[in-house]
Amino acid sequence: MIFIISLLFIIFLHELGHLIVAKLCKCKVEIFAVGFGKTLFAKKIGETIYQLNLILLGGFCKLKGELDYSRSKYSFTNKTYLQKVFISLAGILVNVLTGLPALVYGYHIQCQWLYSFGLYSLAIGLSNALPIPCLDGSYPLWFLLEYKLGKKRTYALMRKIFSISFKILMIINILTIPWLIYLIYQGKIL
């Protein structure tokens, strides 16, 4: 149970990092969601819809014009290179900034749930830093490609590749669920 609660909190914090930095950079956040698939709960506050979705294997912030060419000054694609990188990597930064102290302090005081939370947060954050298309770590490389190909071509290519990559990662996530259930049942994961 600690694993499930930790996972949901880690996902929430990760996406909150993206949300806060996007708003600081004056980028419109259309949707802030924990989970994928069918929406269980949604509430619009200001310009943003906050959602809880059925499949709790991740989350997302849908930014205005994230993978589309747009002329809006509030569009993600029209932010500076550094703003886009900061928005993209903010979730990873939050995972590291919450996970590392939790891991160290949990180990120091022998608190298993705090230690586990820190470990899970670091694992999720650092795995998300991998330069795999559709993960946060790939965005800075794509933004560099934008200088070579231009915005329209780069974002069209990103849409195609990210769509395929996301489906593959979701299949991998779904296939690992029985293994995670087994580990939880065996008491190897809190």
Which are the catalytic amino acids?
15
- Which pTM value belongs to this model? 0.90
Sequence-distant (6+) residues with CB within 8 A of 168 are none
Cβ 73 vs Cβ 56: under 8 Å: no
φ/ψ (deg, to 5) at 72? -70, 140
Give pLDDT tens digits along the chain (190 positions): 677 888 899 999 999 999 999 999 999 999 999 999 999 999 999 999 999 999 888 899 999 988 888 889 999 999 999 999 999 999 999 999 999 999 999 999 999 889 989 999 999 999 999 999 999 999 999 999 998 999 889 999 999 999 999 899 889 888 887 887 787 788 776 6
Distance CA 113, CA 155 (A): 41
